[in-house]
Amino acid sequence: MFCVAEEKNRFYTKDNTSFCSWRLLIRHYYLILISILLLNTFLWSMCISSGQADSQLARRDKAFSINFRDNKYGWIVGDNGLALRTEDGGGSWQRVSMSEDYTFNDVYFVGKKGWIVGGGGVILHTDDSGITWSTQSATGGGPPTLEISTGADRTCPVVEPSSALRQTLMKVFFIDQDKGITVGADGTILRTEDGGINWINVSPNLLEILPAELIDRGVTSVNLYDVLFLNETSGWVVGDWGTILCTADEGKTWKVSHIGHFPPLFSISFKNLKEGWTVGQNGFALKTDNGGDTWTKFSIDTENSLYRIQVKEDYGVIVGDQAITFESNDGGKTWRSINSNLQPPYPWFVDVCLLPSNSARIVTVGKGIIKDTKIGSNQ
């Protein structure tokens, strides 16, 4: 048996009646082990960070929504009561202790006033930038104000959902600090004109708008996933079965732009009153050039589900499963895949925010990740 070593720690054969320096072997073993551990740590950090000022969530965290009211102040919400806030444009994120009993699906701010919606019909409202939150309901009123502290040693009382509504709410949008819409499961559409003091159910009668062939197949309801207003009067909603609804009266009534024969649509975006896009399951995507009178398919080179699209002037971004990200630099005419700079296993991206005031940054959230990217850095 032979052992090999450097001159100063020479090994000899048994035939030379010497011994192998096991101390050196053990030292080499530990050096190799430490190297492997450091390499694994590096690979894991690369898995959740792109080197572009990414802020990290825990691996188990699921972030569902991000919203910035300006270049500095933003919120993230998600599963199991996940809530984070930033006051430095995403340079750092501070966890806010809230109830873990509910899923928060969306957050939206107008000035200091904000709203969170989620599972069980929960609607939370703040008028002081998130220092305190109170619950709202479809019939008005609600439990007392809930004091929320951002300190690590403080917790928030359990959030009670509104007593009048139990359907999961998926998205919320406010035109101003008074007028807003929230949408969710079973075709639910709620509208408020007083900042959420009173929420009125304006859900359409689905049996009147669903195609006969869907009803014959037993479909009696659709889930709605996104809502968007282009101005004070014109708004859009998308959901299951390729559902696209529109309103021209501030959300008081809704009519069908399209429904049936298409996969679920998860997000919709318009850059003006005429040009719009919507994306959904398995890479399905539609566009309109005439304000929704007609919708046609447009090509996205993926079969992954697409969860969010944002188009602002000439720049657009789409995110989805497997950290898929597409961008457009010509106002949505063409789309190209951009490298996420992540290592497998890839997280899903469920929401993306184009920061206001042309700051040339997008912030993406998903499973275990907050990704901050400078627009144009992947050219």
- As a whole number of angstroms, the distance between CA 354 and CA 317 comes to 8
pLDDT tens digit sequence for 168-206: 999 999 999 999 999 999 999 999 999 999 999 999 999
- Strand residues in 27-168 grouped as ranges (E): 55-56, 63-68, 74-78, 83-86, 94-95, 104-110, 113-118, 123-126, 132-136, 146-147
The pLDDT value recorded for residue 59 is 86
Nearest to 117 by CA among 238, 244, 43, 227: 227
The pLDDT value recorded for residue 2 is 23
The one-character DSSP state at 62 is B
- What band does 230 get if pLDDT is binned at 50, 70 and 90? very high
The pLDDT value recorded for residue 139 is 60
- What band does 117 get if pLDDT is binned at 50, 70 and 90? very high
Bond before 345 cis per omega within 30 degrees: yes
- What band does 164 get if pLDDT is binned at 50, 70 and 90? low
**Does 260 or 277 have the greater pLDDT score?**
277
Given a cut of 90, whether residue 107 has pLDDT beyond it is yes
pLDDT tens digit sequence for 65-100: 999 999 899 999 999 999 999 999 998 999 998 878
Contact call for residues 121 and 162 (beta carbons, < 8 A): yes
